[in-house]
Amino acid sequence: MNDIVQAEDLEQFEVNDLYKATQLLLQEFQQSKEEEHPGKIKELSDHLKKRLMNKAAYPLAVLLECGHLAIRHQLQKDWNSPMKQRQLFLFENLMAQFRGKVPPEVWNQICLAYAEALLPTGRSIDALAVLDDMAEKEGEPFYERQNAERGWALVMYSTFLRDQFEKAQGLHTARDLLRQAQQDISDERGRALYGQRLQLAERMLEKLGAVDVTEGYTLNLFEGKQKQYREWCAEHRLLLNGANDIDPAKASKIETFRYRPAGDDKEQAEFLESFLKSLMQEFTALRWTLFEALEDSEVSAEGGYDRTEQLKSVYRHAFSLFDKIALFLNHAYKLEVDLPRTSMQRIWFEEEHPKKPLKPFIKDTKNDALKALYWLSKELFGYERSDRQSLPMIRATQLRHQLERSFVQVVESPEAAVKTGELRKHQMTQKELERMAVTLTFKARTALMYLRYAVDLKAK
């Protein structure tokens, strides 16, 4: 490592040696909180990205950069630092660019690192979804950690839950997963890490006290099409129900989304309760439309339905929910923003301008669910402290604008698309439209869950 640190020409070294040296420098930086060789970690990660460009190992060089950004962010007093924004931006691009294109050991490392980066932002629901994306491979070191990391995410998620049954269920599940990790993980350092997290889960359960988790369970007395629909919702984590994130297979297939009014202003509480109920009903309506478009064999063009138009409608409707969530925040926190300026992209900032400082209600908050909602809005609408935006964000907003202001022609396969001309800009495949509609519906559901928890924590 000393030779590498002192060298002016890095081309003389093998990639593996450069990678290991960078890892060692990152470990030293993490322990000492100072860079013994300032600028060297960045130089090495940048060099590795050039050497590994267009190769399967390229993401590993980006992960080194993300690790460097994470440590630098920890040393800041600003929870919304440029380093954190840059780190999340890089992860979003990695997930979009390399899905299905790299070996499982590389993909699983991306997923695990991304989940670890999401959890400090409060986005435990998103972290659980990322972990579900990991590629199954027996004996692969990073896949060994999947369930342990899921347990850690549930520990973090449980801090949002005010319902004692849901909290107990989440912590019991987390404890079981973290216990199992002591057998599943072959790496000694990994076992030690999750062993510490297991101790935290056990202390939280002890503090919670005895709770009969079976009391909060509701029988799933659904039949026929409704049963099929509810099981589909649970499988895709689309129920407005915290238990759906804890254990989709065993969760009650009902909605438990409720508003708990607080304070003496009964008129305000009644307004917010009606508003949140309306958001819930809008979401369940678009969710049903998505189910019909994807799963219901009775729906067909001959019957007066068009699956493609249903998917387009779901996408537009899901995007509109985010602006309505911003309107809810405007009323709940009494921000007094004019209606035309109230959007999920702008509500966080002074004068509703992304280049202005954050407003006190978000900048100074201790409400981690509200921060999670803020960070989710960055993924959807862009990082104001970044000179570039992620590929998924650009594609998602582009499709929204096309659906609202122009048109989109859906083709069956990439081969059916025209090669050049104006029409090419307005074409996409059926598979991509389905994937984007499902993804955005999940994000809308996630935003509503964070909103619900933010309101609960605010009342508490």
Answer for the pair 400, 382: CB distance below 8 angstroms, yes or no. Answer: no
DSSP 8-class letter at 419: S
User: What percentage of the chain carries pLDDT values higher than 90?
Assistant: 74
Answer for the pair 400, 343: CB distance below 8 angstroms, yes or no. Answer: no
> What pLDDT was estimated at residue 304?
45
DSSP 8-class letter at 135: P
User: What percentage of the chain carries pLDDT values higher than 70?
Assistant: 95
Answer for the pair 18, 41: CB distance below 8 angstroms, yes or no. Answer: no
> Which whole-number Å values give the CA distances from 264 to 113, 269, 459, in the listed order?
44, 8, 12
- Residue 429 DSSP SS3: strand
> What pLDDT was estimated at residue 303?
47
Mean pLDDT of the chain: 91
Answer for the pair 165, 211: CB distance below 8 angstroms, yes or no. Answer: yes
Q: Residue 82 is which amino acid? A: P
> What pLDDT was estimated at residue 214?
67
Q: Cβ contacts of residue 191 below 8 Å, gap of 6+?
A: 181, 182, 185
- Report the range out of 21-25, 339-343, 420-424 with the highest average pLDDT: 21-25
Q: Please work out, in degrees rounded to the nearest 5, the angle formed at the alpha carbon of residue 155 by the alpha carbons of 150 and 161.
A: 120
Residues 101-144: tens digit of each pLDDT: 999 999 999 999 999 999 999 999 999 999 999 999 988 999 99
> What pLDDT was estimated at residue 298?
62
Asked whether the predicted pLDDT for residue 272 surpasses 50, the reply is yes
Asked whether the predicted pLDDT for residue 250 surpasses 90, the reply is no
Q: Cβ contacts of residue 146 below 8 Å, gap of 6+?
A: 108, 112, 131, 134
Say what the pTM is.
0.94
